[in-house]
A and B are shown apart, each in its own frame.
Chain A
Amino acid sequence: MEAFESSEMLATFLASTPLLEESWKLCHHANTALVQNFVVNRVGEVTYVAFPAVQNIGGANSCSRDSVALGTAAEGVFTAFNRHDEGEEPVMVHAGLLQLFLALYNTQIFRDKMSELVNESKSLVFTGHSVGGAIASLSALWLLSSLPKTSISTAVFCITFGSPMLGNESLSRAILHERWGGNFYHVVGQHDIVPRLLFAPSSPFIPQLHSFYQSRHLSLTTPYHAQLAVQLSNENKTELFHTVLAGLEGNSRGVSDLERSPFWPFGSYMFCTDRGSICMDNATAIVKLLYLMLATGSPTSCIEDHLKYNEYVGRSCLQYLMRTSFTEGSSIESSYEAGIALALQSAGINSHDPVYGLAKDSLKMANQVGCRRNLNNAKLAVDLSKFTPLRAQIEWYKAFCDDSDDQMGYYDSFKRRSASKRGNKVNMNRFRLALFWDKVIEMLKTNQLPYDFHMQAKYVNGSQFYKLLVEPLEIAEYYRSGMHKKKGHYIEHGREKRFQIFDKWWKDRKVGEEENSPRSKFANLTQDSCFWGRVEEARDCIYKVASEMDMGRRLLLLEKIEMFEQYASRMIDRKEVSKDVIAKNSSYNLFVGEWRELKSHLQPWPLQFTSFQDGGNMVP
């Protein structure tokens, strides 16, 4: 199917809804009516909450580029961002902006109003202009992470106008993982310098710029303030413009970590110009466009655009009425190219601008990434269904072994298999399934799958089932080939990374109310996929006890065996094992026999290790 560029269409859609207009109306009110904390307005089913651009900054330093880890600086407030994976940078946000939010968050009026709104309204829109926009984002993030995920609750949306950047790339990624990417919508005026400011190293003029804007906002409220308006000299403006432009250029190219700004966009961005608007969600492309659009501006326009949202919003909201005329040549025949050309026209970038080619490339890149992600997801679903038969063959193999006369069960039949066609086939399937899942993990790592892939029930369940069915075979193969003698025991030294990842998916999944009722029959598959690994370790301990002369170490081994025995009998009592575990000739039953035998030899030291019985919680 031919691709289409939809960034302009999406912006048109949003501008034709009441959300944009109503949000700005309330922001404007918050700015001009000298609102202290926030204002609330209800329109139909939707409640809007706006935060003013003028903030009583006090001690908070919103001018620097310092950022702090969200998990520690605001402990317990943003619960969704508390855990983070090793090796990844923690979620960081701008220190000054967070401080402003926390000051508000700690007021009684904010808490009371929020709980009232959550109870009363179906949909909440947080909005704000300039610094107010950042407060709106933080409020929305806080509410999203504190609302229960499972129950049907309030829908939360956030629209900012000319808001400064808020957090780092980890924040952006965490938001995508939670599937909140669609809840944030940042409107940016064509050359507005404020959303771009934090990409530049701090400049001495930034505090000045800040007081300039504060006074301009205040001048809208009373004539008295108008007289006190702070002025920026032309030299200052020029200096600022070039510093920010240079900083953005570097970041849009991907400079070394040292020079890179710690800030990164999240959610969607709507760029507004005199000619239209476009909306995108690819962060890399957003940074590029922030740069390329600024490059077509001037020191004056970049300062003034921050105060022109009234015009931008007004124009966007009436755009639907008029036919979009297209002036950039007329010879385009490809739908895709035409869509790109229309989008660029709306972004105010003309074909004769030097940055035209670059802008075109970044739009194309964003489009391809989006399409590829969806395509990969669809293709993977088909692949998964192709791999189901391989898994089913293993299942049948299991049923065959479990019912076979030698009563060894599935694990031991595979471990002690002789060269047979059936065994070989199952072994091949084991390989192919491993390859498939490794490919999935690789694609996920390289960002080629949808952001919430690891939350899709299909894959969470599929991987769990795969793990329960096939990991016992992996363990069997490991001990069959004597790998444990070379590398050590399976669980600690031989377990593939993929199984650990699947453990995590399974643990993080949204759990329903099921699976608490007791089983009336043995499980289809042993619920701990490492069960056989533990059996092998326990049996190894038994062998070692015989030759171990050191009393201390001997005791330790016995303790380990004892713990395993308790764990295993607990599993069996709850019927959480499959029937191959209790097959007459299974490794587990061998262990039981060996252990009984050993215990009878241990009679001279009766029950010395009973004291460890309470320590059973050491086994998972």
Chain B
Amino acid sequence: MMGERVGDITGLREELILKSCKLAIKAHEKFPGKLYIYEKNRGSTEAVFAFAGSWLVDHWYSRKPFGETKVDASKFPSLRSIGRDEIALVNEAFSTRFEQLLIKSTLASEVEKAVSDRKQVVFTGHSSGGPMAILAAIWFLEKYVRPNIYQMHPYSVTFGSPLVGNRIFSHALRRENWGRYFINFVMRQDIVPRIMLAPISSTEEGLKLMHDFTSPKSQSFQHVPIGNSAAASAFFLSVMRNASSVASHAACNLMGCTNLLLETVSSFIELSPYRPLGTYIFCTGNGKLVVLDNPDAVLLLLFYCLQLSPEEQNAEFLHGIFRAHLVYESELQESLNMQNVIYIENLIDIPLSSDAGTNYAAATVNSALNDLGLSMKARLCLRAAGELEKQKLENQRRIGYYDAFRNQRDANDFNANVKRLELAGIWDEIMEMIKRYELPDGFECRKEWIELGTIFGRLVEPLNIANYYGHLKNEDTGPYMVKARPKRYRYTQRWREHAAMRHIGSSSETTFWAEVEELRTKPYSEVKDKVLRLEEQTFAWIRDGILGKDVLLDESTFTKWWRALPVRHKSGSCIASYLGN
């Protein structure tokens, strides 16, 4: 929990962190002249790309109230939940800015060069340059690391960055095991990382203020009497109020609140969708660094760290939260020298009251939490976040007895049928947990489960389909694929496709029979194209051994149906050789 160095925890050399910080702040100052800076250095084994921030409101929000949009699935195919097939949300203004950057600048080619020189790539950004660094790192991961073109993971290091994506965004990064390559430094009292928790209507003025206050070209650089400005105060209050809504709503859910009110009220007010991602390092302001990687805990900390104590309620405080955005370089220099690092891994056991702790470890954690200004209420919330994480692991362990799944091969007699239904029950339970995000983020990427799901689907789903059409349920409810396909097959198919980096819906061999049954009920002229597609797929599946040859036996539904197709079609069919004549 402590005594480690920042370099050990993050896997990134400390000089590199400092260098990134310097470059990031420099880049921000150069804007709008340059979109990013990259210092070419032949001898170095590292390539650091630093992105400029911007205070233009249009670069923060594309529309009311929060300006989020779905990520571009073609560029970021991993940014979704697999089973549910829910695409992550990203701040549209940030994402557009990044797209422009890719098109208009030489970034792509310079990165390509760095890759061919086998350099460690680092993307960095201060303020709204942070989101650019984060998106660039994901772009890199999708482009080079996932297809196994380049194995060295990139890093994204941000300083006082606003939030970029929603919870699916963060979930997807953790699932791919990429979370640790995203390192975010946040000054305890810097307001910028909290801005995205409030809607544009209440932060527009504030962004202009920030611009005047922080831009060296502005006349009022760091001299605005911001502590007494009504606009600054309104800005702070509204960010805090919205952050409070988001944090207490999250805390209620973490604490297992059962009151129906929570759900009703959530439909009346719009809460910010943005959530933190990756690893967060909070700077307490007196040289300590507190490291956390539980996204729920980080969200709660973003709010609770900024709460006031009675003695802080003055003009200096307000000035401080603006200034905090500008001191990263000096603060980091000092903190990295002191190496007073506290990595809070075990949230469940953090001390509750601010003066507790007889043993040394507890006292250290306690003093860090005190320096972050965490009340007992805040600490309780953090514990709840820890409990949820523990519960997810527990859920995973509970279903870990996959011996039960092993003997699912022969399935003919009465008892085997019972067994199969029991297994289906267990699968359904797993799917329900996945739907409610009650399993660890990485679950849908676990090889053994993808394999079990595939085997189970191939063995059992054809029987389900036969049963469905046998009882003419399609007349009651519609086609199997559209209306009745259980999650246990839909989700596992998507797992498989994601693992193999294939398109969604490209591997539906288990639903072969459903397709046959549907085509069977319709005249050939209506479904000609579909027949052709099915034949092509069938050809490939049989060739690759995915589909058993038993589908080609004389008495199979498939053969009977195919034989009844028009002669002209059959003679040109790619599977004619399989079926003979």
Q: How far is the CB of A619 from chain B (nearest CB, A)?
A: 25
Cβ A320 vs Cβ B240 within 8 A: yes
Cβ B380 vs Cβ A339 within 8 A: yes
Per-position 1/0 for B253-294, Cβ under 8 A of A = 011111111111101110000000000000000000000000
Kindly identify which residue among A6, A46, A182, A325 contacts B263, using a CB–CB cutoff of 8 Å: A182
Q: Once bound together, how far apart are the Cα atoms of A19 and B262, in whole Å? A: 13
Cβ B471 vs Cβ A524 within 8 A: yes
Kindly identify which residue among B375, B391, B426 contacts A326, using a CB–CB cutoff of 8 Å: B375
Report chain A residues within 8 Å CB of B254: 4
Q: How far is the CB of A23 from chain B (nearest CB, A)?
A: 11
Cβ B375 vs Cβ A10 within 8 A: no
Q: Once bound together, how far apart are the Cα atoms of A389 and B309, in whole Å? A: 60
Cβ A18 vs Cβ B269 within 8 A: yes
Kindly identify which residue among A8, A12, A386 contacts B425, using a CB–CB cutoff of 8 Å: A386
Report chain B residues within 8 Å CB of A335: 352, 380, 383-384, 387
Kindly identify which residue among B252, B432, B472, B477 contacts A514, using a CB–CB cutoff of 8 Å: B477
A416 within 8 A of B: no
Cβ A520 vs Cβ B308 within 8 A: no
Cβ B352 vs Cβ A385 within 8 A: no
Q: How far is the CB of B303 from chain A (nearest CB, A)?
A: 8
How many of chain A's residues touch chain B, expressed as a range? 35 or more
Per-position 1/0 for A370-410, Cβ under 8 A of B = 11011000000110011011001100100000000000000
Cβ A370 vs Cβ B258 within 8 A: yes
Cβ B422 vs Cβ A2 within 8 A: no
Q: Once bound together, how far apart are the Cα atoms of A18 and B248, in whole Å? A: 14
Known contacts A13-B248, A268-B261; A323 and B387 CB within 8 A of each other: no
Nearest chain A residue, comparing its CB with the CB of B271 = A17
Cβ B380 vs Cβ A332 within 8 A: no
A321 within 8 A of B: yes
A236 within 8 A of B: no
Kindly identify which residue among B265, B352, B355, B428 contacts A332, using a CB–CB cutoff of 8 Å: B352
Cβ A389 vs Cβ B472 within 8 A: no
Cβ A338 vs Cβ B387 within 8 A: no
Known contacts A2-B387, A182-B263, A281-B260; A333 and B352 CB within 8 A of each other: yes
Q: Among A12, A16, A342, A386, which residue has the most Cβ atoms of chain B within 10 A?
A: A16
Report chain B residues within 8 Å CB of A333: 352, 356
A519 within 8 A of B: yes
Report chain A residues within 8 Å CB of B265: 13-14, 17, 19, 157, 182
Cβ A13 vs Cβ B384 within 8 A: no
Report chain A residues within 8 Å CB of B43: none
A36 within 8 A of B: no
Q: Once bound together, how far apart are the Cα atoms of A519 and B477, in whole Å? A: 12
Known contacts A46-B268, A326-B375, A330-B353; A6 and B256 CB within 8 A of each other: yes
Per-position 1/0 for B304-324, Cβ under 8 A of A = 100111100000000000000
Cβ A332 vs Cβ B476 within 8 A: no
Per-position 1/0 for B474-497, Cβ under 8 A of A = 011100000000000000000000
Q: Once bound together, how far apart are the Cα atoms of A5 and B308, in whole Å? A: 24
Kindly identify which residue among B262, B378, B421 contacts A182, using a CB–CB cutoff of 8 Å: B262
Per-position 1/0 for B385-424, Cβ under 8 A of A = 0010011001000000000000000000010011001100
Known contacts A322-B308, A324-B376, A342-B376; A371 and B263 CB within 8 A of each other: no
Nearest chain B residue, comparing its CB with the CB of A322 = B308
B56 within 8 A of A: no
Report chain A residues within 8 Å CB of B237: 321
Q: How far is the CB of B520 from chain A (nearest CB, A)?
A: 15
Kindly identify which residue among B249, B391, B425 contacts A13, using a CB–CB cutoff of 8 Å: B249
Cβ B471 vs Cβ A155 within 8 A: no
Report chain B residues within 8 Å CB of A14: 261, 265
Known contacts A320-B240, A320-B241, A339-B380; A521 and B472 CB within 8 A of each other: yes
Cβ A179 vs Cβ B260 within 8 A: yes
Known contacts A321-B237, A519-B475; A330 and B268 CB within 8 A of each other: no
Q: Among B248, B251, B375, B477, which residue has the most Cβ atoms of chain A within 10 A?
A: B248
A selection of 6 A-B contacts at a CB cut-off of 8 Å is A12-B248, A321-B237, A388-B421, A389-B425, A393-B414, A520-B472
Given A1-B394, A14-B265, A322-B308, output 13 extra A-B contacts at Cβ < 8 Å.
Answer: A13-B251, A17-B245, A19-B265, A182-B262, A185-B261, A268-B259, A320-B248, A322-B309, A323-B373, A370-B258, A392-B417, A517-B475, A519-B475
**Which residues of chain A have a CB within 8 Å of any CB of chain B?**
1-6, 8-10, 12-14, 16-19, 46, 123, 125, 155, 157, 179, 181-183, 185, 268, 279-281, 320-326, 330-333, 335, 338-339, 342, 370-371, 373-374, 381-382, 385-386, 388-389, 392-393, 396, 514-515, 517, 519-521, 524
